[in-house]
Chain A
Amino acid sequence: MNVLHIDWTACAGHGQCAELLPELIGRDDLGYPLARDGGPTRDLAVPAGLTPHAQRAVTGCPRLALRLVEGRPTDGSAAGQGRR
C-alpha cells in the first residue's frame, strides 16, 4: 500500500491537502492536517482507489511537505530514535 508522508518540519497548515484529499485528511484548530481515522499523521495509509487524489495533494501542497511513498510505512520509530 502507498503511504502519504507528511514532512512536519515543512508543513505550515495551509490546508490544501485537506481540500484535495478530504477522504483521509481533516484539519485541527490551527489548520494543520489531521488524520480522519484519528491516528498519527506522520504516514497515512492510502487505499489504492485514492492514490490519484493523494498525488494531487502532493503536487498541490504549497510547502512541498507531502510525499507519496510506495510500499511501506516510514515512521522513523522503525529503526530507533535514540535521543538521550
Chain B
Amino acid sequence: MTGTLAHTDGAPLGSLASVRVVPGRLLSAAAADLATHLTRSGPLPYREGTGTGPLLAEVEAAGLTGRGGAAFPTWRKLLAAAGGGQRPVAIANAAESEPASAKDATLLASAPHLVLDGLQLAAEAINAREAYLYAKEGPALILARRALAERRVLGLDRVRVRVAVAPNRFVAGEETAVLNGIEGRDALPRDKVRLPVESGLHGRPTLVHNAETLAHLALIARRGARWFREVGTAREPGTFLATVNQPGSGPVVVEAPYGIPLGELLSLAGVAGPVGAVLLGGYHGGWLPAEPGLRLPVSRAALAPWDATPGAGVVLVLPPGACGLDAAARILGYLAEQSARQCGPCLSGLPRLAQLTGELATAGRLAPAGTGRPDPRLPGELTRLSGLVSGRGACHHPDGSVRMLRTALRTFDADVAAHLAGRCAAGAGQ
C-alpha cells in the first residue's frame, strides 16, 4: 500500500507534501481527528492510576527500544524516571533535527493522537503532572497543536501537555539539548554527570522519549507485547520507521520490521535503480558498500560488525558513479558547522577533519600530473585526528561524525587510493 501523505481538512502540509509514505502499523493507524482515532485504535487502556506496573510489564515484555537512534530499552527509562523522589516530567521528542529524516514529522502529521496517547500513557505511568511535546515549527506541529486542542475539548488528557518549539539545528534533538530548549536556554547538549531520568528538566526526573517510541508504546498498550513481537527479530522485535533518501526524488517514509534486508527496505521505498553505496543511520551513521550491504539485515546485531546501526532509520542512497568521498566531505562539512562549539576537541577537530576530507575529495578532480596533489599521508592524518575527537565531548556529535568518516574511508578505500593519485574512481569524476 503506497500513497502520498494527504490530509483531508486542508491543513498546510508544506514540505511534508513531498514525502511519500509506505504505511505499516503506525501510519495505517493514522486518523485525521480524535473521534476517528479512538474508533480505529480503541480507547486508552491503563488509566486506573496503577503506576508503572501493568504498562511497564507489557512494554518490557514487548522489548520496545528507543527509536530516536540509541535503541535503549524503553521500560528501563520508564522505571528509572518513576523511581525518583521528585515529581517527574515526560517529554515527547519530535525535534527530528537530522536533516535527512522525515519520519517523526510524518508520524506527527498523520497520527498525532497515537504519539499523544503514548505521551499520556508514559506520563501517567510515571506519575508526572507535566508533559511536553518538543518539535520544530512546521506543518506537523500545526496538526499536533490541533490534535492537542481536540483532546482538551474532550478532556482526554489527565496530564497537561505543553508544546515547546525546537530550533532548526542538528544537535537540538539530543536528549539534554531538549531539556535546555524547554527550559528556555539555547538547545545545546549538557554535560551529563547525572542522567535526565535522574536529574532532567529543572533538576526533576525526566523521561525523554522519541515520538515514534511513544506511538509504538500506545499500540503495545492496546494490542499487547505478543502482538508487537509478531514481526521483527527475537532480540529486536517490532517495526521501525525509515526515511529513505535517493537523489532525484523526495524522501520516502516506510515502516518495516527489524531484520529486513536493507535491499528489501529500499525496494519498499521504491528505490529501483542500481545502488553504489548506502549511508545507514543518518549523518552519524555508517557507510556500507552495496555488496554485501544490501543483503544485510537492518538490525543492531547484524550491522554491529560493520560499524553501523539502524539509528533512527535514516537511509541515504549513493548511486553508482557518484563519489562517496565527495558525499562524506560535504556531510562532514555540515556536521562541523553544526557543532555546538562547547567542547574543544569537537570545536577545533571537526572543522579540521572536514577540511582535510574536502582536500581528499577535491584531489580526485585534479589532473594526474597536476600540482597540489594531496599528501599521501592524508588518510593516516584523518585517522589520527579522528582519534582525538571521538569520545571527547559532552554529547556524541563528535563520535557520530567520526564514525561516518571512518566508514566512508573503509567503504570507499579504492576511491581514496585513486584520489591520492589525482583520479576519481567513481565514473563521472565529479
Contact = CB atoms under 8 A, between A and B. Distances in A.
B200 to A, nearest CB: 10
Interface residues of A, number: 30
Given A10-B191, A69-B193, A74-B194, A80 B68 contact: yes
Contact of A9 (B209, B314, B394): B394
A41 B392 contact: yes
B388 A34 contact: yes
Contacts of A67: 193
Contacts of B284: 83
Contact of B344 (A8, A74, A79): A8
Interface string B74-118: 001100100000000000010111100100100000000000000
Contact of B96 (A39, A42, A77, A84): A84
Given A67-B193, A76-B195, A83-B97, A11 B175 contact: no
Nearest to A11: B344
Interface in B158-197: 171, 173-176, 189-197
Given A69-B193, A77-B70, A8 B93 contact: no
The A interface, classified by DSSP as helix, strand, loop or mixed, is: loop
A62 to B, nearest CB: 14
B343 A8 contact: yes
Contact of B342 (A8, A42, A74, A78): A8
Interface string A1-29: 00001011111110000000000000011
Interface in A12-60: 12-13, 28-30, 32, 34, 38-42
Given A79-B72, A79-B196, A83-B174, 15 more contacts: A7-B193, A9-B189, A9-B342, A12-B344, A40-B399, A42-B393, A69-B193, A76-B192, A77-B70, A82-B68, A82-B208, A82-B312, A83-B175, A84-B68, A84-B314
Interface of A: 5, 7-13, 28-30, 32, 34, 38-42, 67, 69, 74, 76-84
Which 3 pairs across A and B sit closest by C-beta, in order of nearness?
A82-B68, A40-B391, A80-B72
